[in-house]
Amino acid sequence: MASANNHVGFEDQTLRDGLQSEARRFSLPEKKHLIGRLANAGLKRIQVGSFVHPRRVPQMADTDELVRSLEPPEGVVFSGLVLNAHGLERALACGLSDVALSASVSDSHSRRNANQNAAAAVDAVAGLIREAVQAGMAVRGGLQCVFGCVYEGAIDPDRVLAAAEKLAAAGARAINLADTTGMAHPRQVADMCARLFRELPDIGLILHLHDTRGLGLANMLAGFEAGVRSFDVCTGGLGGCPFVRGAAGNVPTEDAAHAFEAMGVPTGIDLAALVKVVDDLERLLERRLPGRMAAVLRAAAQKTGACGVRTDD
Ligand SMILES: [Zn+2]
């Protein structure tokens, strides 16, 4: 359902979408430290990992152990990404209560990512959504490559609608539309969201946007104008799909928070605290990340004296 609320919620996916595309393997204590910092910065939903085959995505091999070792702070939800039946078993076994169950609407991407065509993958995920709902889990359904695929080009919106209907019929109350390849443009996002809100009026939408072509934040704002109030983000602008050629990062959490706060839309994010997460990530990865606001806030902090008084503008 389209929301008229003047408030947005973010799910930070640095630990999953962010770290899955990094060669550096983060240790369990490093992951826990980042999760603590994100919660301190006001993130109310944090995707802590995925339950995928450790040979395909070794960075996520310790997700079970990580979930078992975490105690969510009051009001914070930890979620995990599940793509198949074994992944759902693992999520249930380690006591995770909130899962994203996702399939691709592109045949080529689905074959690379899930070894089956899109129709089969969507049916399989719908079956898993039924199971997860019956097991009492909170479930977000998800569709990947909604706005285009680098391997097969445009994706027919009718195909997206049919897949969304299947996930909704299986019990998903919210559906995540992922621009996995960063091919969306703002008008396309607005049209797709408006159509889904119209055809599936009881279903919430979440947007997961990659900034591959520099349109991530513009697409997010187009989704907001269409009534979407939930967005996936990655601190520093990390992220990318290991199975998409040339994939780039997600919309940076700090840039999204700044954009909405500047427009008077509350996000609950403490930007100064979030910059500390960017500091940590840049130190561990030994490079600058693409997000813009960390540099802006660091420069502003340098201009401010130790007593907190600005010395110039
Ligand atoms: Zn992604």
Residues 74-126: pLDDT tens digits?
999 999 999 999 999 999 999 999 999 999 999 999 998 888 999 999 999 99
What pTM does this model have? 0.94
Please report which helix (H) or strand (E) contains residue 51, including its range. Answer: strand 45-51
Rounded CA gap, 188 and 57, in Å? 31
Confidence of residue 6 (pLDDT cuts 50, 70, 90): confident
Confidence of residue 302 (pLDDT cuts 50, 70, 90): confident
Over pLDDT 90: what percentage of the chain?
86
Radius of gyration of the chain (CA): 19
* pLDDT value of residue 301: 87
Question: What are 132-183's pLDDT values in tens digits?
Answer: 999 999 999 999 999 999 888 999 999 999 999 999 999 999 999 999 999 9
Residues counted in the chain:
313
In the structure, ligand 1 is a single-atom ion and the residues with CB under 5 Å from it are: 17
Taking the centre of ligand 1 as the mean of its atom positions, its distance from the CA of residue 210, in whole angstroms, is 6
Rounded CA gap, 51 and 29, in Å? 19
SS3 state at 97: coil
Confidence of residue 65 (pLDDT cuts 50, 70, 90): very high
* pLDDT value of residue 312: 46
Going by C-beta distance under 8 Å and a sequence separation of 6 or more, which residues neighbour residue 238?
14, 17, 18, 19, 21, 22, 249, 250, 281, 289
Taking the centre of ligand 1 as the mean of its atom positions, its distance from the CA of residue 241, in whole angstroms, is 6
Q: Active-site positions?
A: 241
* pLDDT value of residue 309: 47
* pLDDT value of residue 303: 78
Q: Average the pLDDT over each of 9-13, 69-73, 143-147 and give the range with the smallest value.
A: 69-73
| Structure token pair of residue 183 | 């091919």
As a whole number, the mean pLDDT across the chain is 93
Determine contact, residues 139/102, Cβ cutoff 8 Å: no
* pLDDT value of residue 235: 98
Taking the centre of ligand 1 as the mean of its atom positions, its distance from the CA of residue 21, in whole angstroms, is 10
Q: Average the pLDDT over each of 23-37, 92-106, 238-252 and give the range with the smallest value.
A: 238-252
Taking the centre of ligand 1 as the mean of its atom positions, its distance from the CA of residue 13, in whole angstroms, is 8
Rounded CA gap, 68 and 126, in Å? 26
* pLDDT value of residue 72: 87
* pLDDT value of residue 310: 47
Which pairing describes strands 77-82 and 9-12: parallel, antiparallel, or unpaired?
unpaired
Q: What is the average pLDDT across 177-206?
A: 97
Taking the centre of ligand 1 as the mean of its atom positions, its distance from the CA of residue 65, in whole angstroms, is 23
Q: Does domain 9-303 have CATH number 3.30.43.10?
A: no
Please give the residue that has the higher pLDDT: either 5 or 232.
232
* pLDDT value of residue 266: 97
Rounded CA gap, 142 and 2, in Å? 17
